[in-house]
Amino acid sequence: MLKYILRRIIMLVPVLLGVAFCVFTLLYFTPGDPARMVLGDLATDEAIKEFRDKEGLNDPFLVQFGNYVYKAVFKGDIGRSYSSKRPVMQEILTAFPYTLKLSAFAMIIAIIIGIPCGIISAIKQYSWFDTITMIFAMIGLSMPVFWLGLLLILLFAVKLRWLPSSGFSTFKAMILPSVALAAQSISMVTRMTRSSMLEVIRADYIRTARAKGQKESIVIGVHALRNALIPVVTLCGLQFGQLLSGAILTESIFAVPGVGRLMVNAIMSRDYPMVQGGVLFIAITFSIVNLLVDLLYAYIDPRIKAELK
């Protein structure tokens, strides 16, 4: 197991280098002068030249990228924000707890609702419950996050006045953004659980367990569900990583001070170090989540644990 973990960590290095190179290249060739954006249109040519020399913007592309990678690897420095003048990592670590809390809450909602609905839909295939569940799952997949967020604000914040429309400091303020962010994940988890359970409950060992007189709850909850969870766990891991990176629209709509909103502001102000650091941080987080999901397989399926030894 330890060798597998070390091998996966080593594999992260080329992935992160590739992400950093792609983002750095896109920002380098993006139209617009960050010096002009930061200093304003009234800045003198001397001030702009001084800013570009100080930030190394006049260096060749490969020199700039090499300096960025060197500082990130050996000094833990991924740049300093043009806008706030603070280290990028400090800004991201300040905002990340809000994004993590939002994504975790949304994922918990998706699991609590999606897995039971998928199990019941598989057991009662083609019933009224299965039909209604699949209709709502299709609607949830079709609705964009920003559109659903605006509808929730209009209904529960403006019309009914039950919940606040912005902020993230109280439990009530967390409900609307978490539900908006979780809608598509609920639909995907429900459909994946239903599909996986339908495949498993038709297997020979399930018929054998029933023939031996096992209770239906044990057959479904122990024998069938455990084997059906592997694709569901894979989906949940991928969805959680996407929630961490896809909370940009949700944080912007509900004014959540997370990494997504931080990156939107950085993009609008041409704060290149903040954009690069934010994308790199999200890539690292996504990779760590995938590693944890792979390790979770071993506790769900003993056969996978034997292969990792």
Residue 246 pLDDT greater than 70, yes or no: no
**Residue 290 sits in the same domain as residue 168:** yes
Residue 7 domain flag:
no
**Residue 68 sits in the same domain as residue 116:** no
Task: Identify the pLDDT of residue 132.
Answer: 92
Task: Identify the pLDDT of residue 109.
Answer: 92
- pTM for this entry: 0.79
**Residue 54 sits in the same domain as residue 178:** no
CATH code for the domain of 238: 1.10.3720.10
Residue 306 pLDDT greater than 60, yes or no: no
Range from 16-20, 106-110, 138-142 that averages highest in pLDDT? 106-110
**Residue 180 sits in the same domain as residue 230:** yes
**Alpha carbons 209 and 214: distance in angstroms, whole number:** 6
What is the extent of the structural domain holding 71?
Answer: 32-77
Residue 112's pLDDT band, with cuts at 50, 70 and 90, is very high
**Alpha carbons 239 and 289: distance in angstroms, whole number:** 10
**Residue 169 sits in the same domain as residue 208:** yes
**Residue 166 sits in the same domain as residue 209:** yes
Residue 12 domain flag:
no
**Residue 153 sits in the same domain as residue 42:** no
Task: Identify the pLDDT of residue 201.
Answer: 83
- In the chain, the number of structural domains is 2
Residue 141 buriedness (CB in 10 A; 0-12 / 13-18 / 19+): middle
**Residue 216 sits in the same domain as residue 172:** yes
Residue 258 pLDDT greater than 80, yes or no: yes
Residue 290 domain flag:
yes
Both tokens assigned to 77: 């420095």
Segment holding 183, helix H or strand E:
helix 171-200
Residue 96 pLDDT greater than 80, yes or no: yes
Q: Are 236 and 209 in contact (CB under 8 A)?
A: no
